[in-house]
Structure 1
Amino acid sequence: MDWLPVALLLIAACVSGLWLRSERLRRSADKELNRTLQLFEVSLEMNSTLRKQDLLGKIMETTSRLMEAEASSVILVDRERGELYFDLALGEKGEEVREIRLKIGEGIAGWVAQTGQSVKIDDAASDERWSSKVAKRVDYPTRNMLCVPLVSKGDIIGVLQVLNKRSGLHFTDRDLLLLESIAAPIAISLENAMLYDALEKSMIALKTTTAAKEKMESELRIARDIQMSFLPRGSLVVSAAAAAGDSLGIASVEVPGSEFEEAFGEGTKEASKEASNEASRGASGSAAHLGSSVEIGAVIRPAKEVGGDFFDYFELGQDRLFFALGDVSDKGIPAALFMSVIMTLIKGKMTLSMTPAQLLTEVNRELYKDDSSMFATICCGVLHTGTGKFVYSDGGHCTPYMVRGSGEVESLRGKKGLPLAVLEEMIYSDNEAWLEPGDRLVLYTDGISEAEDPDQHQYGMERLRNVLVDTVRSVDSETPTEPDLLKRILDDVDLFTSGAQQSDDIAVLHVHRKLPI
């Protein structure tokens, strides 16, 4: 029976071994369960918000508590600048910390961001990778630390570090494994929060941009209204015979047939006789001249909300009609302002005794004083409504067309001057032409002739000439009215461009010396 005690001892040893193994397994299971619960807690905390600043605060608070550390920090990677930065820093010196930037590779955090490797350091000050840049700024001693990369979709987006184990202890390898496990859900949540933050900033920027755009569009609409207010509205009929203005607001002016002295600014019978002779050269008899009327109208279409093309027409005395069409070299608001200055000068300086050339010379001198980088082409003239005599001056503008009542189209070629505001001492010249009853004068800007189709082919002057011929010859008994001609020109330009974006302002002015009734 000597073997019995030995057997009992063996049995006791086996039972003890089994218990110890079971206890180790239980403790390991408890630790694994506790680790799982901790990771689950971290996941819940990290998924509780999409706002980056709130998330960073939760990361720092949660990791400090789980790792039993005095402090925790998240340092993010700025790929564009190759630096690390503190997006959130708590405490009295938080703002100072946020100003700190580390180069990737600088300090322990920079080394982790560069290599993607985790580190456990028991004595931070003695580590050769240690940088005291942050510690000196916040006056916070770092004894030991853990630092792990935050990796999302294969990219390092930052580093997570915990500082100073409580109770003076060191972090363990198990602590490092736990922090690495915590870093995985943190990185995913942080990536989502950064995307949400970028989206939110984009939305704010979009709202700001939209508000600014709406404000600008509103201001441009106001500017357009102001600009359009400079232009005459509707068509103006200036009659050489007695005619009353109708209910549509058409203006009329009477020129008495026996008072040519007044019409031509002369005070003698000889002057009256000469004026009568001029009338005879203008058409087939003074009676026809005195019985005809002049209809004028214009259309403008800016390439932008406001533009630099302009026109104007107004009466001079009782028998003369002034009109002008111009094109500023620029577009948009600067051109509109320059245009407004030109129109103001024209209205302020033009008088009954002044010729178009004298007017352009005066306006040019005023504009040149402004030392502007812009210039403007212009064609302006004065039409004697009784005789059809037309005196005009050309400042580098597109050559006007004269459309005869027979349907023939002639280029109105006269001596040209330079555009306004190019040469201070420019002296402009007067040119002379005659409009017989039934004749038309068409002035336009290069927004018509240089309009482009989708293949960048230009509309050209020849096509405009053909439209004028077809329009006049398309009516047998009576010629088309002024709005029809303007509409046909624009419709043909639109047909040619086929929806291509308008690149320049468009303006057309049409003067029609109508046949006597």
Structure 2
Amino acid sequence: MREMGIAAGVLLLVSVIVIGLLLRSESRRLAAETELQRTMQLFDVSLEVNSTIRKQDLLVKIMETSSRVVNAEASSVILVDEARGELFFDLALGEKGDEVREIRLKIGEGIAGWVAETGQPVKIDDAASDERWSSKVAKRVDYPTRNMLCVPLISKGKIIGVLQVLNKRGGEPFSERDLQLLESIASPTAAALENAMLYDALEKSIHALKVTTAAKERMESELRIATDIQMGFLPRKSLHVLAARRAGAESDAASVSDVLDASAVEAAGTDIAADSRAYIRPAREVGGDFYDYFEIGKDKLFFVLGDVSDKGIPAALFMAVTMTLLKGKMTADSTPGTLLTAVNQELYKDDSTMFATIWCGVLDIATGELVYSDGGHCPPYVIRAGGEVLPLKGRKGLPLGVMDDMVYADNTITLELGDRLILYTDGITEAEDGQQDQYGFVRLGELLTREAAADQQELLKRLVEDVDRFTNGAVQSDDMAVLIVDRKPANRPTTAPLVML
């Protein structure tokens, strides 16, 4: 009997051991199944978040996947704006999505701000009672938050945002396992999100480049048109005027860079003439230097050279207005001084911040009397028939557009037969080489002395070549213009070309 009791006890012990082993095995099996399930969830999440490179699509997948995995009602991704030290909603769905996107949280503000600041995950069972809670978002969307999980999104050691899920379904609080699972989700999510953000920035840069390129092409096209329009204001032909009557023909021109030939002029019945030629080269597509010359009255030549203070399109517009006023107000009875006085009053009314230096004159071809007025311009040079080069001085006025009641004076000299007048803008004398040394008045005077006997076209060519040789490839910072007026015996003029660039 005693032996039977021992046997029963042994059997019971064995049964307990076996049951214990079975239970332990089942626990391990369940744990293994749980771990496998968690691994599969993470694998599915990784597949989801890496299925797109587009940021907006990825944000939607992150929120949908996070909510599904931890069985939450809602989810959101809040990104870090490093430049402003703030968190913002790059994507917000629903009727009040636009309002949510306007919300910005300071780093450290609210639970999301605290996570972004500390880099620590957090599980909140009662959001409203947490001292870190901010109701900014909840008030905008009218959505009560009971409990939540919030984890940082860290890529390459840098917090780029936070991932949060709201309100566990079924009314239960989130568990520690939910928090661990969300942390596990955050790692592949952060890497995919940073790649998507880089791709998004690249797309925006490419789009901006395309827009900029298209705008640049439009601008270049418009500038080419503006160049043609601006050059249309300038005489594109050399001018040969005879005393007593005009007996010359002017050359044709196809474009601003064409070579222009003056036609032969019959000089029968006359013995004195005036020739005008010019050269202009803007520093940009369009510029502010301008010139003009035309006959007025009987035996008189009007000519003008000016320089607007600015460059580019604004200067070109101011130049166009100035030239229009000059032509519109110049009459046979006007003097250069009265003309500039009238034009200045009109320009000053425009309330422009720009101004223009200007020099204009009226030459009586028969007598050689030259009446001129100077509005703060570079001093011209007179090359006498014998080769002497002299700066032309006289009473100066202020540039056009500076003072409304400025009265410009008339000055008078006589150009003898064979004398030449050289007008230029400061783009010539202030042209700089690589060491920022300027071409200057001395070099200009020496060049004019050396080339005193050259014809107009040859002188223009050699002057520009000398300036370019001096600058030696340095960027042209200012417009360049030169105007030459000769008073000479009326021999049949040569057909030397006039180059206008």
- Match among 102, 105, 109 for residue 106 of structure 1: 109
CA–CA distance in structure 2, aligned partners of residues 463 and 234 of structure 1: 28
C-alpha displacement of 1:146? 1.2
The alignment partner of 2:451 has SS state of helix
Q: How does 1:31-42 map to 2 (within 5 A)?
A: 31-42=34-45
1:476-507: per-residue Cα shift (whole Å, max 9, x none)? xxx43322222222222222222222222211
Bigger shift: 299-308 or 319-328? 299-308
The yes-or-no answer on 1:202 pairing with 2:205 is: yes
Structure-2 change in CA distance of 1:484 and 1:30 (3 Å):
farther
CA–CA distance in structure 2, aligned partners of residues 115 and 464 of structure 1: 71
The yes-or-no answer on 1:182 pairing with 2:185 is: yes
- Match among 329, 335, 344 for residue 364 of structure 1: 344
The yes-or-no answer on 1:155 pairing with 2:158 is: yes
Q: Confirm or deny: 8 A CA contact 2:240 2:248 kept in the other structure.
A: no
The yes-or-no answer on 1:460 pairing with 2:443 is: no
CA–CA distance in structure 2, aligned partners of residues 54 and 305 of structure 1: 46
- Match among 435, 454, 476 for residue 415 of structure 2: 435
Q: How does 1:505-516 map to 2 (within 5 A)?
A: 505-514=479-488
1:102-135: per-residue Cα shift (whole Å, max 9, x none)? 2222222222111111111222233222223322
- Corresponding residue number in structure 2 for 1:25: 28
CA–CA distance in structure 2, aligned partners of residues 16 and 225 of structure 1: 101
- Corresponding residue number in structure 1 for 2:305: 325
The CA RMSD measured in Å over matched residues stands at 2.6
CA–CA distance in structure 1, aligned partners of residues 64 and 24 of structure 2: 37
- Match among 459, 465, 471 for residue 497 of structure 1: 471
1:182-208: per-residue Cα shift (whole Å, max 9, x none)? 000111111111222222222333333
The yes-or-no answer on 1:164 pairing with 2:167 is: yes
Q: How does 1:419-430 map to 2 (within 5 A)?
A: 419-430=399-410
Percent identity for Structure 1 against Structure 2: 68
1:393-415: per-residue Cα shift (whole Å, max 9, x none)? 22221110112343321111222
- Corresponding residue number in structure 1 for 2:329: 349
- Corresponding residue number in structure 2 for 1:263: none
CA–CA distance in structure 1, aligned partners of residues 262 and 430 of structure 2: 33
Q: How does 1:257-268 map to 2 (within 5 A)?
A: none
C-alpha displacement of 1:179? 0.7
CA–CA distance in structure 2, aligned partners of residues 150 and 40 of structure 1: 18
Q: TM-score, normalised by structure 2?
A: 0.88
Q: How does 1:278-297 map to 2 (within 5 A)?
A: 290-297=270-277
- Corresponding residue number in structure 1 for 2:287: 307
The yes-or-no answer on 1:379 pairing with 2:359 is: yes
The alignment partner of 2:436 has SS state of coil
Q: Which amino acid aligns with 1:35?
A: R
CA–CA distance in structure 2, aligned partners of residues 19 and 509 of structure 1: 110
The alignment partner of 1:327 has SS state of strand
- Match among 43, 48, 66 for residue 45 of structure 1: 48
1:303-331: per-residue Cα shift (whole Å, max 9, x none)? 23322211000012452211111112222
Structure-2 change in CA distance of 1:244 and 1:212 (3 Å):
closer
Q: Confirm or deny: 8 A CA contact 2:247 2:267 kept in the other structure.
A: no
CA–CA distance in structure 2, aligned partners of residues 101 and 25 of structure 1: 47
Q: Confirm or deny: 8 A CA contact 2:242 2:490 kept in the other structure.
A: no
Q: Confirm or deny: 8 A CA contact 2:234 2:292 kept in the other structure.
A: yes
Structure-2 change in CA distance of 1:136 and 1:359 (3 Å):
closer
Q: TM-score, normalised by structure 1?
A: 0.85
1:204-237: per-residue Cα shift (whole Å, max 9, x none)? 3333333333333333332222221111112112
Higher relative contact order, structure no. (Cα contacts within 8 Å, ≥ 6 residues apart): 2
CA–CA distance in structure 2, aligned partners of residues 121 and 375 of structure 1: 70
The alignment partner of 1:227 has SS state of helix
- Corresponding residue number in structure 2 for 1:484: 458
Structure-2 change in CA distance of 1:346 and 1:124 (3 Å):
closer
Q: Confirm or deny: 8 A CA contact 1:150 1:157 kept in the other structure.
A: yes
Structure 1: 5+ residue runs without aligned partners?
258-289, 473-478
Structure-2 change in CA distance of 1:369 and 1:129 (3 Å):
closer
CA–CA distance in structure 1, aligned partners of residues 299 and 265 of structure 2: 7
